[in-house]
């Protein structure tokens, strides 16, 4: 099978440890871009050595943020775009599935298979993001978050949406998952998720969340954001409802990390933690 008619975009900053493996897995694609935010390590050099197009990105503090800027400004070979993070690996089966798409949908959700404590988690939380899209029909929405700490130049944990005029287009689902190597160590995990939590708390306070492109997901998100004891609820959902216990000790620790994350959001909402930019201490143990 030939190269999938899809442009791949990887947004980076100081990803020298991961970018090489990420790009190697994308060798079947003939239009791959690394959009880099001033890395001071070897990220750009590694990407160029792999034959990838590298673009410097400087955020101006407003919208569009980084991913939408890419859709608006890069001279992409294709209108269909696949956003891949540097800590993700695209397996051969996923490449084949993308190459075989008929593109009857405006975009496709792509699942992520988490690597945690040295093993892949097949249960518990399954990340599912609208990462494969037609840029003529899908965009990242503007939300009221420019004064909220935690996310900065990159669109936060919100899905891309159908552009006005394409609201009736279908959104499909890719079955082969990305391999997501998101966990380095406890400290980096907690620091990163503390930033996310500050942002989510701010979004909740403002009611600034955009509508999810799938009504069922939108309803579940709305309900969960208002559930008391969200940390405990997140643990039960991840470990019991989604069968995280089948992943053994790693599944238990991951479920506890989910509980910890939602406790961080609660703490940030109550202003019981230091501001994100100032907090450098490790935030407890899983």
- pLDDT tens for residues 17-64? 999 999 999 999 999 999 999 999 999 999 999 999 999 999 999 999
Q: The whole model's pTM is what?
A: 0.88
Closest listed residue to residue 44, CA positions, set 81, 4, 10, 78? 10
pLDDT number for residue 283: 38
The 10s digit of each residue's pLDDT in 149-171 is 888 999 987 789 999 999 999 99
Helix (H) or strand (E) holding 225: helix 215-225
Q: Give the residue from 129, 162, 183 where a domain finishes.
A: 183
Domain that holds residue 265: 187-269
Q: Is the same domain home to 258 and 234?
A: yes
Q: Is the same domain home to 59 and 27?
A: yes
Encoded tokens for 195 = 């930033």
What dihedral angle (degrees, nearest 10) is formed by the CA atoms of 230, 236, 237, 242?
160
Residue 228 domain flag:
yes
Cα distance between residue 263 and residue 242, in whole Å: 20
What is the band of 209 on the pLDDT scale with cuts at 50, 70, 90? confident
Which has more pLDDT, 126 or 120? 120
Q: Give the residue from 114, 148, 183 where a domain finishes.
A: 183
Encoded tokens for 80 = 């269909």
Q: Is the same domain home to 159 and 237?
A: no
Closest listed residue to residue 115, CA positions, set 45, 7, 220, 21? 21
Average pLDDT, the chain: 90
Residue 1 domain flag:
no
CATH code at position 146: 3.90.550.10
Q: Is the same domain home to 168 and 52?
A: yes
pLDDT number for residue 213: 73
Q: Is the same domain home to 144 and 195?
A: no
pLDDT number for residue 223: 74
Q: Count of residues for the chain?
A: 286
Q: Is the pLDDT of residue 1 over 80?
A: no
Residue 282 domain flag:
no
pLDDT number for residue 215: 76
Burial class (CB in 10 A: 0-12, 13-18, 19+), 261: buried
The 10s digit of each residue's pLDDT in 238-278 is 999 999 999 999 999 999 999 999 889 988 888 644 444 44
Residue 206 domain flag:
yes
Residue 237 domain flag:
yes
Q: Is the same domain home to 145 and 213?
A: no
Number of compact structural domains in the chain: 2
Encoded tokens for 181 = 């190597």
Q: Is the same domain home to 131 and 46?
A: yes
Q: Is the same domain home to 60 and 159?
A: yes
Q: Is the same domain home to 206 and 112?
A: no
Residue 280 domain flag:
no
Closest listed residue to residue 178, CA positions, set 7, 21, 13? 21
Cα distance between residue 20 and residue 272, in whole Å: 40
Q: Give the residue from 160, 183, 206 where a domain finishes.
A: 183
* Contact status, residue 250 vs residue 119, Cβ threshold 8 Å: yes
Residue 286 domain flag:
no
Cα distance between residue 200 and residue 212, in whole Å: 15
Q: Is the same domain home to 216 and 176?
A: no
Q: Is the same domain home to 51 and 155?
A: yes
Residues 6+ apart with CB under 8 A from 97: 174, 175, 176
Please compute, for residue 136, the number of CA atoms within 13 A of its CA located in the half-sphere on the CB side. 7
Q: Is the same domain home to 179 and 213?
A: no
Cα distance between residue 126 and residue 110, in whole Å: 10
């Amino acid at each position: 099978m030939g190269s999938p008619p899809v442009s791949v975009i990887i947004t980076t900053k100081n990803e020298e440890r991961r970018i090489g493996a990420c790009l190697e897995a994308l060798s079947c694609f003939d239009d791959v871009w690394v959009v880099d935010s001033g890395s001071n390590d070897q990220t750009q050099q590694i990407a160029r050595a792999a034959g990838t197009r590298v673009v410097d990105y400087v955020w101006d503090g407003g919208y569009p943020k980084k991913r939408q800027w890419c859709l608006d400004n890069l001279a992409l070979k294709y209108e269909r775009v696949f956003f891949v993070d540097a800590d993700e690996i695209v397996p051969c089966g996923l490449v084949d599935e993308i190459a075989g798409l008929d593109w009857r949908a405006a975009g496709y959700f792509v699942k992520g298979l988490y690597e945690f404590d040295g093993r892949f988690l097949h249960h518990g939380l399954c990340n599912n993001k609208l990462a494969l899209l037609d840029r003529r029909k899908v965009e990242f929405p503007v939300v009221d978050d420019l004064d909220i700490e935690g996310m900065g130049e990159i669109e936060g944990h919100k899905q891309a949406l159908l552009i006005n005029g394409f609201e009736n287009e279908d959104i499909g689902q890719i079955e082969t998952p990305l391999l997501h190597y998101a966990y380095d160590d406890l400290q980096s995990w907690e620091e990163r998720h503390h930033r996310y939590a500050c942002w989510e708390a701010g979004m909740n306070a403002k009611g600034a969340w955009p509508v999810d492109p799938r009504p069922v997901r939108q309803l579940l998100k709305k309900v969960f954001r208002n559930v008391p004891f969200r940390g405990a609820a997140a643990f039960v959902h991840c470990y019991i409802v989604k069968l995280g216990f089948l992943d053994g000790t790693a599944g238990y620790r991951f479920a506890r990390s989910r509980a910890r994350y939602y406790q961080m959001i609660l703490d940030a909402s109550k202003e019981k933690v230091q501001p994100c930019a100032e907090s450098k201490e490790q935030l407890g143990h899983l």
